[in-house]
Structure 1
Amino acid sequence: MNIFKKLGALTGFLLFATMVPQANACDVCGSGVGSYYLGILPNFNKRFVGLRYQQNRIQTHLGPTGNRTVNTADEQYQTMELWGAWNFGERWRVMAIVPYSFNRRTIGTGAQWAESGTKDGLGDIVAMGHYKLFDDMHTTSNNTLLMQSLWIGGGVKVPSGTYDPSEQSKVGAGAANTFQLGTASTDFMINAAYDLRLMDAGVNINTTYKINTENKHGYRYANKIAINGLLYYKLNVKDKLRLSPNLGVLYESQSKDVLDNRFDVATSGGHSTIGIVGVEINAGKISVGGNFQRPFSQELADGRILAGNRVMTHVSFSF
């Protein structure tokens, strides 16, 4: 298969991904049952294990014009994740993410603040498997090195995090069902990751479609699609340190959650576009990195939810 056929296959896959029925406000906002952003993986040949920290903020229960009310809640989600991956041969990879979340919520306006809730605990564990569909490296006509690879795969999220049905009971009063550690449902993911690099400059594209099932309480978070693209450049410092600054965009979208298999949840659904700036640093077997994510376009829960900035950092060890 030549390069044009490979690029054609990739284009077809991405077009298919963007045409999948729009995918859960909590996933898009990045709450405790949140999204599984991968970005640029640490450099490793065989396997790696590490810790990843994420912090996200959202405002829920906004007024009909997006204004704050006495019921408006400020929610903060901090998640520490144990994550890792293992390559089997040249084509197969398995990954796992074990999150532990610290959720905080306050309600009020102006100087009238009141601590209204905390939830700390294990989140929903994720396992994923990937297959390298192709890996191409050759020299172009002007003697520059061109490399590209495409990984495809899928995964499962198990309901290991606590789900509080009392939060679900508030959706009829206009509250979003975001303040959870888990979804109480077994969910599935389809993923593709494409990387194209010309010498030291490259682009990384990652697409994930998450298929959610109904939990035992009759609540189903809507399916979600997330597509992110990152431009990066690899800088080699004295053959001991490699820096990879990156810049990109993340798009997330979903339809409405469903209650009792028939009622759409008004305070759910929507889409957002988020700018990303970050850096990855590799020194031998140690990799560290981080990024800052800022929404610059969003329409969540018909304007009743507002997503804030996100921060992500990680440290990983390959062996």
Structure 2
Amino acid sequence: MKKSLLILIFLGLLSQSNQSFACDSCNFFEYSLLENKSYIGLFYRFRDFRDYKTISPSTTTAIQSFPAQLSTQLQPWIGNEIMHEPEGNNLYVQKTKQDFETYQTIEARGNITLNYKWNLTFLLPYEFNKVYYEKYLDLPNPVSDTTLYVQGWGDLTTAVEYIHLVYNPKSRHTFRPGLAFTLPTGQAQIQSNNENRELFDPIIQPGKGAFSFIPRLNYQWFLENKGINAGMSYQWSTEGKQSYQFGNSFNAYLLYFHQFELGGSLLLAPNLGVYHESAQRDIYNGEKQDLTGGQVDFAQLGLDLNLSQTTFSLVYQRPIHQNLNGNQILNQHRISIGLIRSFKL
């Protein structure tokens, strides 16, 4: 087979806090065609979050820890579970089944391969973030429901990888150690449209306003028309806008794929595997935030269709285990759709 189609994994958006995202730009893994490794691509990603660990009314209410002047405004919630989220804001939330969060991304991606030994990659996302709370108190406003909606440019990510190939008569091993850097180029200080023109919380801003340093390693074993992809990465982030620092994160994945030649240059490659992400607690004004960080494991199903130099990719992920810090909203679904056009330099 002259061309080998690999699996594309495209995960996460911002290293958010209460969504427990580990890292959006850590785990992007490119196609690696034997003859044409350079490409341009356009991708769409969707992630949603619903439900909490606990929603039932609490016998001991958190209202006792609130300032005395809030007692009148919080009376309708006495006896219910009240959470202060996001931390550091004047937003108090009674978590309900109706709450949800959705994050959508349209991303341009480019990759240039030099001398079949080095990969240079960039990712530029545009974000559409929505958060809905059925019951909230935005001081000094009364209790009501609200939808927070933010859209804008995310942070630019650049990466460099070294490609090391090991051949034997029956199989091929590809090792790809590399470094990625997220630059503070995105919109991280978008304001609300209300009369106060307050800044949206850092956890839903399209950009972080911080630098991130991401060492990573990708590996593939390929035998005839099947193989295994594996990889891991770790992200260190600096303090960003609004004195907010997203927690360091670790990502890892393992996938099995099988290629089917449907005639001519048409290849079909389904894949199946698992993906893990974990993140430490975020830091706001020097203090760790309790409702941030944790671990999530996903099952993944994917399908790649390659025709000549054009590749279509579809990935679906569903959480199989979640261990989040505090009563965070839970992961539900992740979907990624990509279209790639490879070329020779």
CA contact 2:235–2:248 (8 Å) conserved in 1: yes
Q: Is the 8 A contact 2:150 2:190 kept in 1?
A: no
Equivalent residue number for residue 303 of structure 2: 279
CA displacement, residues 116-167 of structure 1 (integer Å, 9 cap, x when unaligned)? 12111110110000011x201221xxxxx21111001101111122224889
- Partner residue of 1:130? 161
SS of the equivalent of 1:217 reads helix
- Contact 1:176–1:268, Cα closer than 8 Å, also in 2: no
Residue 180 of structure 1, CA deviation: 1.8
* Match of residue 213, structure 1, among 229, 238, 243: 238
Cα separation, 2, equivalents of 1:115 and 1:217? 22
TM-score by length of 2: 0.73
1-side partners of 2:205 and 2:55: how far apart?
Answer: 23
**Per-residue deviation, 1:66:** 5.1
Q: What's 1:5 paired with?
A: none
Quick one: structure 1 residues 55 and 184, their matched pair in 2 at CA, closer, same or farther if it must change by over 3 Å? same
Cα displacement string for residues 172-193 of structure 1 (whole angstroms, at most 9, x for unaligned residues)? xxx9853221111111111111
Gaps spanning 5+ residues in structure 1: where?
Answer: 1-23, 140-144, 168-174
Q: Is structure 2 residue 176 aligned with structure 1 residue 121?
A: no
Tell me by how many angstroms 1:235 deviates: 0.8
Amino acid at match of 2:266: L
Cα distance in 2 for partners of 1:88, 1:67 equals: 57
Answer whether contact 1:50 1:83 (CA < 8 A) is retained. Answer: yes
Counterpart code for 2:283: V
Q: Which residue of 2 aligns with 1:58?
A: 49
Match runs of 1:277-316 below 5 Å: 277-316=301-340
Shift of 1:59: 3.7
Q: CA deviation at 1:200?
A: 1.1
Q: CA deviation at 1:95?
A: 0.5
Count of matched residue pairs: 277
Residue type at the aligned position of 2:334:
R
For residues 80-119 of structure 1, the aligned pairs below 5 Å read 80-108=106-134, 114-119=145-150
Contact 2:275 2:300 in 1 (8 A): yes
Give the unaligned 5+ runs of structure 2.
1-14, 58-80, 82-92, 136-142, 193-199
Aligned to 2:175: 150
> Could you report, residue by residue, the CA deviation over 1:239-258 in whole angstroms, capped at 9, with x for unpaired residues?
32111100010000111111
The 1:230/1:282 distance shift into structure 2, 3 A limit, reads: same
Q: Distance in 2 between matches of 1:84 and 1:229?
A: 24
TM-score of the aligned structures, taking structure 1 as reference length = 0.79
**Is residue 2:265 matched to residue 1:229?**
no
Alpha-carbon offset, residue 39 of structure 1 = 4.2
Name the residue aligned to 1:18.
none
Change (3 A) 1:166 1:306: farther
* CA 150–201 in structure 1, closer or farther in 2 if over 3 Å, else same: same
1:80 Cα shift?
0.4
Shift of 1:108: 1.1
Q: Is the 8 A contact 1:28 1:253 kept in 2?
A: no
Query: Within 2, Cα distance between the matches of 1:27 and 1:206?
Result: 25
Bigger Rg over Cα: 2
Pairing partner for 2:94 from 67, 71, 76: 71
Query: 1:224 & 1:164 partners in 2: Cα distance?
Result: 23
Distance 2:103 2:282 in 1: 20
Does the C-alpha gap of structure 1 residues 28 and 267 become closer, same or farther in structure 2, counting only changes over 3 Å?
Answer: closer
Distance 1:187 1:40, change over 3 A: closer
Query: CA RMSD, aligned part only?
Result: 2.7
Amino-acid identity (%): 23
Structure-2 separation of matches of 1:243 and 1:100: 29
1:303 alignment partner, SS class = coil
